[in-house]
Amino acid sequence: MEKNKLKLTVVLLAAIVFAVGWLLPVKLEGEAPSVLLDLKFPAIGKSQKVSVSVSDKNSGIRKIWVGLLKGGKELVLFKEDYPAAGLFDTDKILEDEFDIQIEPQKLGITDGKGVLRVMASDFSWRRWWNGNKTVVEKEVVIDTRSPELDVLSSVHNISQGGSGLVIYRVSEPCPTNGVQVGDNFFPGYPARNVIALPQSSEASDTSEIFMAFIALRHDQGSDTDLFVKTADYAGNTASAGFRHYIRKRSFKKDIIKLSDNFLNRKMPEFDSGMAHESSATPMEKFLAINRELRAANYEKIVQVGEHTDSKLYWDGAFLRLPNSARKAGFADRREYQYDERVIDQQVHMGIDLASIPRAPVPAANAGKVSFVGDIGIYGKTVIIDHGFGLFSTYSHLSHASVEQGQMVSKKDVIGQTGKTGFVFGDHLHFGILVHNIFVDPVEWWDAAWIENNILSKMNEMKSQ
C-alpha cells in the first residue's frame, strides 16, 4: 500500500514538474505586442480618422490605450481591457483593429503640437503579471483651419474640347490641389521656379503659387462647374470659384463606309489581342475592336498621362506635320456604315494628317518621351511629355526612332508615318492630351492662342 502511494506521489510530482516546465516558458514569454498606427500625415484636422491595429500571437492582448497629449494634458481617446485568456490560453484574443474618429474642436483641443500615444500590453506573466508592454508615440500637429485660396489669373475663356490655364496661390503646403472641371480634376504644379514669380508682400512665408493646365471635354457645356480646390496635410479643404466663359462648339459628322475587303484584310491583325469566339464574323470582330479595344487603348494612354514632370519643356507654338493635309478633325462624330446601315458611332479624339508615305514626323515641341510602343487601334505610338500634364501623341507610325526617357527638341524626327493600327492608309494621328483629356490640337498650333491664353497669364504674374 505504501509503495503504491509513493509511486502515485512520484507520478504527481513528475506531472507537476512537467507542467511547470512547459507552462512557465509559455507564460513568461517576452515578445511584446505589435502595434500599427495608420496616420498618413502627422496632422489632425477638423475630423481625422486614425486606424489602430494591435496583435499578440503568443499570450494574447490584455489592454489597449490610446490618448492625445497636448499642453501637459492627457485626453483618452480609446481604452479597452480584454478578457483574461485562462490558464491554458483557450480564449485569448490575438488581434484587434479599430478606427478612432478625432474631432479636436468637439473634444476641446486647440490647434498646435501634440503627441498621439498608443499603449498595448499582453497576458504574459512578466513584469509581475502585468505583461509585456508596447508604447508607440507619434508627434502630430492639430490644425483645424482651412487653407486659403487666391485665384491670380483673371481671364479664363475656354472652348468645348479646348484647353486653358489657371494660376492660383495656396496659403500653406497642401499635398492635394488643382482645378475641378465637372467630374475631372487637373492637378496643379508649383509655378514659382517655372516663371520666376516675385514674392508678393501680401503672401505668407508658407504660401505657394501653382499652375494647372485644364481641359474641357468636347461634350461638356456651359453648365460645367469650374473651381480651384485644395486639401492640406490635416485634411482641411477649401475651394474657390473663378470667372470663366465656356464657348460652345459644333463638331463635324463623318461617315465611314466599311467594305468586306477592309474587314477581311484588317481583322486578322487583331486576333491575338482580342478574346473572340472562333465563330465570330469579321463584323462582330470589328465592333469588339471599335468599342472594347478602343476604350482599353484610351485608358492605356491616360495611364501614361498620369506621370508628368513638373517642368515646362515646351516653347512657343506646336508644330504640325509639314506639308500635310487634314483628313479628319478633332471630335468628328464618326458614323460607321456597313451594307448601307449604321453599325457603330465613335468620336475621333485627334487630327489625322496625311503626307507622303513614311513621311518623317517631327516632335511638335520639346519634351521627354514618356512612351514608345504599340497601342491597339492606334498602332505604333510615341507620347511626349511637355511638362505640367501636357502631352502630344503620334500614332499609326511605321517606325519610331526615339526611346522612352529620351529628351527631344522641337523638330527632332521621332519616327515615320504609317498605317499600323486600325486605319485605312498611311497617315499620322496627332493628339494633344491635358492630363487625361484629349483636346483640340489646333489651339496648340496657334501662336496667337498660346500668347492670349497661356503666356499672357504667366507674364501677368511676373509683373505683380
6-22 average pLDDT score = 52
190 and 114 belong to one structural domain: no
Q: Is 17 within the bounds of a domain?
A: no
pLDDT computed for residue 207 by the predictor: 81
Mind listing the pLDDT tens digit for each residue in 130-188?
Answer: 889 999 999 999 999 999 999 999 889 999 999 999 999 999 989 999 999 999 999 99
Q: How confident is the model at residue 61 (pLDDT cuts 50, 70, 90)?
A: very high
100 and 163 belong to one structural domain: no
Q: Is 5 within the bounds of a domain?
A: no
The Cβ of residue 451 has, within 10 Å, a number of other Cβ atoms equal to 13
118 and 197 belong to one structural domain: no
Compute the chain's Rg from CA coordinates: 33
259-283 average pLDDT score = 77
In this predicted structure, the answer to whether residue 194 has a pLDDT above a threshold of 70 is: yes
Q: Is 444 within the bounds of a domain?
A: no
In this predicted structure, the answer to whether residue 83 has a pLDDT above a threshold of 90 is: no
pLDDT computed for residue 270 by the predictor: 81
* Contact call for residues 430 and 415 (beta carbons, < 8 A): no
The separation between CA 399 and the C-alpha centre of its own chain, rounded to angstroms, equals 31
d(CA 69, CA 116) in angstroms, rounded, equals 6
| Domain's final residue, options 109, 142, 175 | 142
Q: How confident is the model at residue 19 (pLDDT cuts 50, 70, 90)?
A: very low
132 and 174 belong to one structural domain: no
The pLDDT > 90 percentage for the chain reads 68
Q: Domain limits at 113? A: 28-142
Q: Could you tell me which residue, 218 or 17, shows the higher pLDDT?
A: 218
CATH of the domain at 119: 2.60.40.150
Q: Is 7 within the bounds of a domain?
A: no
In this predicted structure, the answer to whether residue 199 has a pLDDT above a threshold of 80 is: no
CATH of the domain at 414: 2.70.70.10
Q: Is 55 within the bounds of a domain?
A: yes
pLDDT computed for residue 4 by the predictor: 59
| Domain's final residue, options 249, 276, 298 | 249
* Contact call for residues 120 and 53 (beta carbons, < 8 A): no
234 and 264 belong to one structural domain: no
pLDDT computed for residue 29 by the predictor: 82
d(CA 212, CA 168) in angstroms, rounded, equals 9
pTM of the model: 0.82
Q: How confident is the model at residue 341 (pLDDT cuts 50, 70, 90)?
A: very high
End-to-end CA distance of the chain: 109
90 and 164 belong to one structural domain: no
Q: Is 50 within the bounds of a domain?
A: yes
pLDDT computed for residue 17 by the predictor: 47
The pLDDT > 70 percentage for the chain reads 88
CATH of the domain at 219: 2.60.40.10
The Cβ of residue 364 has, within 10 Å, a number of other Cβ atoms equal to 26
**Which H, E and C letters describe the chain, residue by residue?**
CHHHHHHHHHHHHHHHHHHHHHHHHHHCCCCCCEEEEECCCCEECCCEEEEEEEECCCCCEEEEEEEEEECCEEEEEEEEECCCCCCCCCCCCCEEEEEEEECHHHHCCCCEEEEEEEEEEECCCHHHHCCCEEEEEEEEEECCCCCCEEECCCCCEEECCCEEEEEEEECCCCCEEEEEECCEEEECEECHHHHCCCCCCCCCCCCEEEEEEEECCCCCCCCCCEEEEEECCCCCEEEEECCCEEECCCCCEEEEEECHHHHHHHHHHHHHHCCCCCCCCHHHHHHHHHHHHHHHHHHHHHHHHCCCCCCCCCCCCCCCCCCCEEEECCCEEEEEEECCEEEEEEEECCEEEECCCCCEEECCCCEEEEEEEECHHHCEEEEEECCCCEEEEEEEECEECCCCCCEECCCCEEEECECCCCCCCCEEEEEEEECCEEECHHHHHCHHHHHHHHHHHHHHHHCC
314-343 average pLDDT score = 94
290 and 372 belong to one structural domain: yes
Look at 3-7, 118-122, 342-346, 412-416 and tell me which has the smallest mean pLDDT.
3-7
53 and 138 belong to one structural domain: yes
pLDDT computed for residue 87 by the predictor: 58
* Contact call for residues 184 and 215 (beta carbons, < 8 A): yes
d(CA 104, CA 101) in angstroms, rounded, equals 10
Q: For the chain, how many structural domains are there in total?
A: 3
Q: Is 186 within the bounds of a domain?
A: yes
In this predicted structure, the answer to whether residue 379 has a pLDDT above a threshold of 50 is: yes
d(CA 385, CA 305) in angstroms, rounded, equals 8
359-383 average pLDDT score = 97
In this predicted structure, the answer to whether residue 196 has a pLDDT above a threshold of 70 is: no
pLDDT computed for residue 111 by the predictor: 93
| Domain's final residue, options 106, 125, 142 | 142
CA dihedral 363→387→332→215, nearest 10 degrees, is -160
Q: How confident is the model at residue 72 (pLDDT cuts 50, 70, 90)?
A: confident
In this predicted structure, the answer to whether residue 346 has a pLDDT above a threshold of 60 is: yes
Average pLDDT of the chain, as a whole number? 88
311 and 223 belong to one structural domain: no
In this predicted structure, the answer to whether residue 201 has a pLDDT above a threshold of 50 is: no
pLDDT computed for residue 276 by the predictor: 55
In this predicted structure, the answer to whether residue 89 has a pLDDT above a threshold of 70 is: no
In this predicted structure, the answer to whether residue 3 has a pLDDT above a threshold of 90 is: no
Q: Is 8 within the bounds of a domain?
A: no
- Residue 354: closest CA among 396, 382, 294, 413: 396
226 and 279 belong to one structural domain: no
d(CA 287, CA 289) in angstroms, rounded, equals 5
**Which H, E and C letters describe 233-291, residue by residue?**
CCCCEEEEECCCEEECCCCCEEEEEECHHHHHHHHHHHHHHCCCCCCCCHHHHHHHHHH
| The pairing of beta strand 380-385 with beta strand 390-397 | antiparallel
pLDDT computed for residue 22 by the predictor: 47
pLDDT computed for residue 18 by the predictor: 45
119 and 208 belong to one structural domain: no
In this predicted structure, the answer to whether residue 377 has a pLDDT above a threshold of 90 is: yes
276 and 318 belong to one structural domain: yes
In this predicted structure, the answer to whether residue 192 has a pLDDT above a threshold of 70 is: yes
Which CB contacts under 8 angstroms, 24+ apart, belong to 279-288? 283/338, 283/343, 286/258, 286/343, 286/344, 287/343, 287/344
